[in-house]
Structure 1
Amino acid sequence: MKDNIKEFVKTKDFLVCVDSDGCAMDTMGVKHEEAFGPRAVDVWELHHIKDRFLKVWNDINLYTRTRGINRFKGVVATFEALEKEGIEMPDITSFKKWAETTNELSNPSLERAIAETNDEQLKKALEWSHAVNRTIEEELAGNDKPVEGAKEGLAAANNVADVAIVSSANGAAVLDEWTRHELNVHVDVMLGQEAGTKAYCIEQLKKFGYENTRVLMIGDAPGDLSAAEVNDVLYYPILVGKEKFSWDRFQNEALAKFLDGSFAGEYQEQLIKEFNDNLK
């Protein structure tokens, strides 16, 4: 498995892109509940509203149609939601502006912005992001496991298609998790948050010469669907709470439809409706 698109080589006519956290790896819940949310409480000193903050954080990042939102946009969305409830929150105006305008939502991008501006709000956000990564690496190591059925589904996909991880998660963490659980053997290239947005990554992969109807994004969040739609490619949902069913159906039904050209249209529409109905 390559970890740079420059090293990727197209070997098949079909391409399957797959998200990591919450889709192929059963890591999304524990990361938000034990790392992302609690470290935000610590860094922005929100202990006085800890319970409410964590409830809103988890709703936004796990259980509603913003599931899978980038970590930095998740901070902005959570702060805004709490402000609408009348809760006074720390000022993150300049951080919000960065999150809305940067073309790369990652630590390196944030570091470059800090080097240019020396902005304290950006420094606080980077402090939080590093704290999250440390918690994941030091405290949550070993708590990750593949989603049931994902390994078999990926193996089936890689038999007939090139497979690319397209994730907004930290690339080093994704690489570590997929390698330890031996999912990497079914993947050709890994593109994490450092490679750009999911939509951008799919766009770049398409340049290797895949037809739109021969590119499929597998994901569990609206951002995955959006990335597929803006690139005019197909989307297969891993349903929250029904992950094994979703992967089994992919392997036993959807993959064949993808290959024979019957995925687009009515079947695709049915899957998207089911996906949207499954989220709050």
Structure 2
Amino acid sequence: MTIEEFTPKHKFLICIDSDGCAVDSMTIKHKKAFGRALIETWHLEDYKDKVMAEWERINLYSMTRGINRFLGLNMALNYINQNIKPIDGLADLTKFIETAKSYSNNALEEYIKSNPSKLLEECLSWSNLTNKYIKELPESSINLFKNVKDQIKRMTDNSDIAVVSSANYDAVYNEWKRLGLMDYVSVFCTQNEGTKEKCLERLSKRYPQGNVIMVGDGPGDLDAAKSNRIYFYPILAGSEDKSWKKINSYLDLFYTSQLDYCQEKIIDSFKDNLR
């Protein structure tokens, strides 16, 4: 269901990121799909270890964790250009990022029609190859973090559930369906709907102020929540199971308008975990 088709049933909304937050898929996707496709597309086999280390730093182990694929690619290609080998046409990717309304394959395809660019064609090929490799990952390698399903099921007693992800729609939808979560989801908002910030803006307008919370594992989730003046609960990288186990006590505060008292402390623990 799209945002336009969505009608709230509860007075509270819990927005949940997918990769690396509810679904333990982030690390394997970056190692076996995104990073692999990066090395193959730009013929970086001789620098594999160095490139992969930087790709994982950007996307997994720093304050840019969870960044949109094209924003992460821009950072990685700039690093490669400065430290490994020249990458021609980087200004074309920067211009796309500065002007696009959303960062998706469809948006990039449309942009290329009026702004031809060899580098952007390579970026699109990289993104398509990444999607191919993601589809080829064994299903058994991607599962929910512990406690996720029980907690989400419990959330539906008081809240609507929105999946808010910067990832590809088909990949997110198919994972949540396979993992048995579809009965609990009210609406899906992925990269085709725009940025997380825009998705949260559109969703939060349907609820009273203070009745929306974002559950996420990356700084982008926090930034999107802050820009829309909604609450944030972090799933800490490396402590995902524990974070999901503890979420109930914070949701009790959320439902009773008491989360303000500890919101900054929660955010500080999140930032400290990624430093």
Same fold (TM over 0.5): yes
Match of 2:268 among 240, 250, 273: 273
Q: How does 1:54-93 map to 2 (within 5 A)?
A: 54-84=52-82, 86-91=83-88, 92-93=90-91
Q: Which residue of 2 aligns with 1:225?
A: 222
Secondary structure at the aligned position of 1:6 is classed as coil
| Counterparts of 1:152 and 1:168, CA distance in 2 | 24
SS in 2 for 1:126: helix
1:98-154 CA deviation, whole Å, 9 max, x = no partner?
123211000000000111122211111000000000011123444211111111121
Q: Is the 8 A contact 1:79 1:89 kept in 2?
A: no
Once structures 1 and 2 are overlaid, which stretch shifts more, 87-96 or 127-136?
87-96
Q: Relative to structure 1, is the Cα distance of residues 212 and 140 closer, same or farther in structure 2, using a 3 angstrom cutoff?
A: farther
Residue 173 of structure 2 corresponds to residue 170 of structure 1: no
Out of 223, 241, 255, the residue aligned to residue 238 of structure 2 is 241
Cα deviation, 1:6-35, whole Å, max 9, x if unaligned, reads: 211111110100100000000000000000
SS at structure 1 position matched to 2:120: helix
Q: How far apart, in 2, do the equivalents of 1:167 and 1:27 lie?
A: 13
**2 CA distance for matches of 1:142 and 1:95?**
35
Whichever residue aligns with residue 126 of structure 2, its letter is W
Q: Tell me the alpha carbon deviations over residues 176-206 of structure 1, each in whole angstroms, 9 at most, x when there is no partner.
A: 0000011121110111111100010011112
1:96 is displaced (CA, Å) by 2.3
Identity of aligned residues (%): 39
**Separation in 2, partners of 1:254, 1:276:** 18
Deviation, 1:269, is: 0.7
Q: Partners in 1 of 2:181 and 2:86 — Cα distance? A: 41
Q: Which amino acid aligns with 1:242?
A: S
- The equivalent of 1:49 in structure 2 is 47
1:153 is matched with which residue? Answer: 151
- CA distance in structure 1 between the partners assigned to 2:134 and 2:144 by the alignment: 16
**Aligned-residue RMSD, C-alpha:** 1.2
CA distance in 2, matches of 1:150, 1:82: 37
1:256 to 234, 252, 257: 252
Distance 1:93 1:140 in 2: 37
Q: Bigger shift: 21-30 or 110-119?
A: 110-119
Counterpart CA distance in 2 for 1:38 and 1:273 is 33
Q: Which amino acid aligns with 2:238?
A: G
The structure 2 residue matched to 1:22, chosen from 17, 20, 23, is: 20
Unaligned runs of 5+ residues in structure 2 are none
Corresponding residue for 2:202? 204
Query: Is the contact made by 2:235 and 2:244 (CA closer than 8 Å) also made in structure 1?
Result: yes
Q: What residue identity is the alignment partner of 1:259?
A: Y
DSSP-derived class of the 1:213 partner: coil
Measure, in 2, the Cα distance between the counterparts of 1:30 and 1:231: 31
The residue that corresponds to 1:32 in the other structure is: 30
Amino acid at match of 2:15: C
Q: TM-score, normalised by structure 2?
A: 0.96
Unmatched segments (≥5 aa) in structure 1 = none
Where 1:7 maps in the other structure, the secondary structure is coil
Aligned residues, how many? Answer: 274
